[in-house]
Amino acid sequence: MKELIAALTLTLLAQAAVALTLYTPAVLAPAAQADIGIAASTIGLFTAIVFAMATWCAPFGSTFVARLGPMRVSQWCLVSCGCGLALCALASPAAVVVGAALIGAGIGPLTPASTEILASQAPPRVRNLVMSIRQSGVTLGGALAGAVAPLLLIAVGWKGAVLAIGAFCLCFAVALQAVRHRYDGAREISVSTQRPSPVRLFRMVYSHLELRQNALASFTYAGMQYCLSTFLVVFLVERAALSLPHAGWALACAMTAGLVGRIFWGLVADWIGNTRKVLGALGLVMTISAFTLSQVTPGWPLAAILALSTVFGATAIGWNGICVAEIARVAPPGQVAIATGGSLIFTYSGITIAPSLFWIVITVTGSYAWAFALLGVAALSVALPYFRSPAAVA
């Protein structure tokens, strides 16, 4: 049990640090837009670049792990993300694009690496809970971004903030060297490991009924999650007339609720023994939350906005852990890692595509309401099939 707790703690913190580099630009975008020369709403394209690179890198995560070991891969992921965020301090569009690509290169292989660390230590009876706790590192990083980035902005400016957070990731990567031998020491480095084909992984997932359903849900739910986390601060500043610190509080509420939600939904799924219905219920609440957020105006009280952000975050950010566990449950014997890598192609594709489409809808219509409403419709379309048996979905 001590080994499981230690491994879970390390993977949780690594996920949180990487997520911190992802969400910090979304929080600082309103302050940085004048220096960089692009509108804050363009943050959707930043997220798209991040996850386009993550989509390309994720299928190779298992190869990197086999050759280098999961902890070494985690260290390189932290270095890549920290350097990528620090590059944004150059305040040029080209540097921001390169920085986004580096962050994506760090995000892609991290999940296979942390899954490798936990896979042999998590008993099946608590699989949902363990994976949910690990994935809650993403929301922990987002909550830290919403709470810490505005404080750093006030203290050292937005450039100083991204440099400080980037330096933190580099220091954490160095600190992990002290425990690397525990996870990588006995590993035989393979120089002949073949890189998996993303096309083969895609076909394998799509040809399996339940894997396909979970992959499509992860595509949609992930798109919902990152549109919320990417645009919430900008939306509340531009359309609800909130100050940047108050909008940052809303993001922190959403992320904190997502963190608690990931653990709670894992417990619920393990308790009732039906992850499908939990995933379906989460999709329904996401739909209602998206429609409600689309109606927020400057007249809304701050308390109501924070409450809505909390409910939205608990579902749109809390779904990931049990979805990963469900993919592991329905994967063919001996193909859990392959199924996870293939499903990540769908997940990261959703994160790549949805923020770009969200930005296009805002640009064309001038309305955040339409963008959030369309997200709600998409979530509803993948949530309802979870209330039917897998055979009925075919």
Assign residue 197 a region: left if phi > 0, alpha if psi is -120 to 50, beta otherwise? Answer: beta
Separation of alpha carbons 387 and 217, rounded Å: 13
So what's the pLDDT on residue 282?
Answer: 96
Rounded CA separation 78/84 (Å): 10
Please choose, from the candidates 58, 68, 53, the residue with its C-alpha nearest in 3D space to the C-alpha of residue 103.
53
Helix %, strand %, coil % of the chain (to 5): 85, 0, 15
Hey, what are 285's tokens?
A: 């609440």
pLDDT at 221: 95
Q: What is the pLDDT of residues 310-332, one digit of tens each?
A: 999 999 988 888 887 788 778 77
- Per the CB < 8 A criterion, the answer to whether 335 and 145 are in contact is no
Query: What CA–CA distance (Å, rounded) separates 45 from 213?
Result: 27
Residues of the chain with pLDDT under 50: 188-193, 394
- State if pTM tops 0.85: no
The predicted structure's pLDDT at residue 286: 96
Q: Rounded distance, CA 116 to CA 276, Å?
A: 24
Please state, as a whole number, how many other Cβ atoms lie within 10 Å of the Cβ of residue 365.
11
Q: What is the pLDDT of residue 41?
A: 72
pLDDT per position as a tens digit, 190-227: 444 455 566 777 777 777 888 888 889 999 999 999 89
What pLDDT is attached to residue 207?
79
Domains of the chain, earliest start first:
2-183+194-393 (1.20.1250.20)
